[in-house]
């Protein structure tokens, strides 16, 4: 009896959901998710998730403490690794073109237990990521208000763990973004595209201005901390792989391939020159 129960548990852990069953379930669904995103919007979503505030902050930290001018190589290595991961996600999304991301992919290939773990990992990742970004935005917003003479009470700009009451700007931005997402995919993707366009414009402005101040003497020594320590650079400059989970939002395989090309070219065009001029 004990052996039978153990076998049942093992079978349940290793149980996979066939792709045919997944596709059949989607076809039987009365209200499937409406696919309203195109190549431009999905490319902007990916760039917006990958090229975040880190490119403005961590680039200097990685160059000063870990990689030096060799940060250029760090971005290249991180780009290659992210590109390989993107190809894997694109392959999964082409085979299982439905919502669910890594959870569905692992359920169809590795089993229910792995899918359960990955599903909760994604929830934790998005929750922690949203909290970190909202706190960072709160700091930038508070500094902006300070420059124009508006000083918010410290108790309303930091968390209780840091001696405050509530980080009010962070709460407000989360509520605003949540309302935008509830409003609809089309509306949120439009706002995201506008924000990404502004972000790219800022980076391009930095590149244009920095081009005239290039000093090759600053590139020597190229690896001041040695190649071993410089390997930390890719970890700090690497792209967010979670952004690759947006691929299932596309309707057809050609769109997935075009989105990958747009992401790769855009990131290479922005990140490597940005690290060069920093």
pLDDT at 24 over 80: no
d(CA 51, CA 48): 6
Which of 42-51, 85-94, 104-113, 228-237 is the least confident region? 228-237
- Using CB atoms within 10 Å of the CB of residue 98, give its burial: 0 to 12 exposed, 13 to 18 middle, 19+ buried: middle
pLDDT value of position 139: 85
pLDDT tier at 64 (50, 70, 90 boundaries)?
confident
d(CA 92, CA 86): 10
Mean pLDDT of the chain: 73
d(CA 118, CA 100): 11
* 86-97: average pLDDT: 75
d(CA 87, CA 97): 14
d(CA 25, CA 98): 11
pLDDT value of position 271: 53
pLDDT value of position 248: 52
DSSP label of 34: P
Extract the tokens encoding 157.
């700009």
- Tokens 């149980």 belong to 15
Q: Taking the model in full, what pTM does it have?
A: 0.67
pLDDT tier at 175 (50, 70, 90 boundaries)?
very high
- Using CB atoms within 10 Å of the CB of residue 254, give its burial: 0 to 12 exposed, 13 to 18 middle, 19+ buried: exposed
pLDDT at 23 over 80: no
């Amino acid at each position: 009896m004990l052996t039978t129960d153990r076998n049942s548990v093992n079978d349940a852990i290793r149980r996979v959901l066939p792709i045919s069953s997944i596709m059949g379930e989607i076809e039987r669904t009365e209200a499937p998710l409406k696919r309203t995103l195109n190549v431009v919007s999905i490319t902007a979503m990916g760039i917006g998730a990958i090229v975040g505030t880190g490119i403005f902050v961590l680039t200097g930290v990685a160059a000063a403490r870990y990689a030096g001018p060799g940060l250029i190589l760090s971005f290249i290595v991180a780009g290659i690794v992210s590109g390989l991961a993107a190809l894997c996600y694109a392959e999964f999304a082409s085979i299982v073109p439905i919502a669910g991301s890594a959870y569905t992919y692992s359920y169809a290939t590795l089993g229910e237990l792995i899918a359960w773990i990955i599903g909760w990992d994604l929830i934790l990742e998005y929750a922690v990521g949203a909290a970190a970004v909202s706190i960072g935005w709160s700091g930038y917003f508070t500094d902006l208000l300070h420059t124009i003479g508006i000083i918010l009470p410290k108790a309303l700009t930091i968390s209780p763990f840091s001696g405050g009451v509530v980080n009010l700007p962070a709460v407000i931005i989360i509520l605003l973004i949540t309302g935008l997402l509830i409003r609809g995919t089309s509306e949120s993707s439009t706002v995201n595209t506008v924000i990404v366009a502004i972000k790219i414009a800022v980076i391009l402005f930095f590149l244009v201005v920095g081009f005239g101040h290039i000093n090759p003497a600053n590139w020597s020594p190229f690896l001041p901390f040695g190649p071993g320590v410089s390997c930390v650079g890719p970890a700090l400059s690497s792209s967010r792989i979670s952004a690759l989970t947006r691929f299932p939002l596309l309707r057809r395989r050609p769109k997935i391939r075009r989105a990958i090309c747009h992401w790769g070219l855009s990131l290479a065009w922005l990140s490597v020159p940005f690290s060069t001029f920093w």
